[in-house]
């Protein structure tokens, strides 16, 4: 059963839905809302349990997270939209493409991967889920997850950006973290979904991303017939936050070509 997502809806024109990374909220898209809203309608929902959105009582499933987004589109009478996602948001975007392909006008996948988790990664997700449930004040996310989200250039030269990301990670609700980790652990391989896609696609990856490195971006680009790959230098996993100007330039160039 879908939940009603808290969201921001700014601008007019072609609808662009941006789905945030784990374990932050749609607050990460501030720069993108500002850059895109003069020309496009930008919709940035908080996914289940994060930001202002309720978690609901459903078992963890990224397919349900995709259905939440479709319910939001239905409520706004939007037939199709550009669907973009970064990291976990990319997983949800691919689930939406798999379950509701007619709702996807174009696809943007940033710092994400199409493959399912190998067993060690799944086990680690379940370990983190159990740990934050057992102790909601656990510093596990700051100690283990935060260092993987930002590149060394950001750590060394963008202290305010690093601090902003740290604050978003620190405010993540434990129940949402656990739900999302288990949902991501259970996600299927999406390569066949990408191979079947007939929409334009933009793939973005930070050159310092170690969680979803360039090799993963190249695999997704090769799988989609109409895909463009953009690498962003001096940025890690959260490219949209670490390097908003090149990220926005790539996104606007892609959207402008859609007509």
Domains of the chain: 7-258 (3.40.50.1820)
Percent of the chain with pLDDT over 90: 97
pLDDT at position 140:
92
| Span 154-175, pLDDT tens digits | 999 999 999 999 999 999 999 9
pLDDT at position 10:
97
DSSP codes of every residue in the chain:
---PPPEEEE--SSEEEEEPPTT--GGGGHHHHHHHTTTSEEEEEPPTTSTT----SSPS-HHHHHHHHHHHHHHTT-S-EEEEEETHHHHHHHHHHHH-GGGEEEEEEES--SSPPPHHHHHHHHHHHHHHHH-TT--HIIIIIHHHHS-HHHHHH-HHHHHHHHHHHHT--HHHHHHHHHHHHTPPP-HHHHHT--S-EEEEEETT-SSS-HHHHHHHHHHSTTEEEEEETT--S-HHHHSHHHHHHHHHHHHHHH-
Q: Which of 176, 173, 170, 184 is nearest to 56 (CA)?
A: 176
pLDDT at position 1:
82
pLDDT at position 188:
97
Cα dihedral across residues 46, 86, 162, 179: positive or negative: positive
The predicted model scores a pTM of: 0.97
Determine the Cα–Cα distance for residues 86 and 92; give it in Å rounded to an integer: 9
pLDDT lower than 50: segments of the chain = none
State the maximum Cα–Cα separation within the chain, in Å, rounded to a whole number: 50
Pairing of strands 41-45, 81-86: unpaired
- Residues paired with residue 26 on neighbouring β-strands, in sequence order: none
């Amino acid at each position: 059963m879908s939940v009603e997502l808290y969201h921001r809806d700014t601008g007019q024109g072609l609808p662009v839905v941006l789905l945030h990374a784990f374990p932050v909220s749609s607050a990460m898209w501030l720069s993108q809302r500002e850059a895109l809203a003069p020309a496009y309608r930008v919709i940035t929902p908080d996914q289940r349990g994060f930001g202002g959105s309720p978690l609901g009582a459903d078992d963890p499933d990224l397919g349900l997270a995709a259905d939440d987004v479709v319910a939001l589109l239905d409520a706004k009478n939007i037939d199709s939209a550009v669907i973009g996602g970064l990291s976990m948001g990319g997983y949800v975007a691919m689930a939406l493409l798999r379950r509701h392909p007619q709702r996807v006008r174009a696809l943007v996948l940033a710092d994400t991967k199409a493959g399912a988790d190998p067993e060690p990664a799944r086990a680690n997700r379940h370990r983190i889920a159990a740990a934050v449930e057992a102790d909601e004040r656990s510093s596990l996310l700051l100690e283990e997850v935060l260092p993987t989200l930002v590149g060394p250039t950001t750590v060394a030269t963008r202290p305010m950006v690093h601090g902003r990301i740290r604050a978003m990670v620190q405010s993540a609700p434990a129940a949402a973290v656990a739900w999302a980790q288990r949902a991501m652990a259970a996600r299927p391989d999406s390569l066949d979904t990408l191979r079947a896609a007939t929409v334009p696609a933009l793939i973005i990856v930070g050159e310092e991303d170690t969680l979803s490195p360039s090799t993963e971006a190249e695999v997704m680009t090769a799988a989609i017939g109409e895909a463009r790959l953009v690498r962003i230098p001096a940025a890690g996993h959260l490219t949209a936050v670490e390097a908003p100007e090149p990220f926005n330039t790539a996104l606007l160039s892609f959207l402008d070509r859609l007509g």
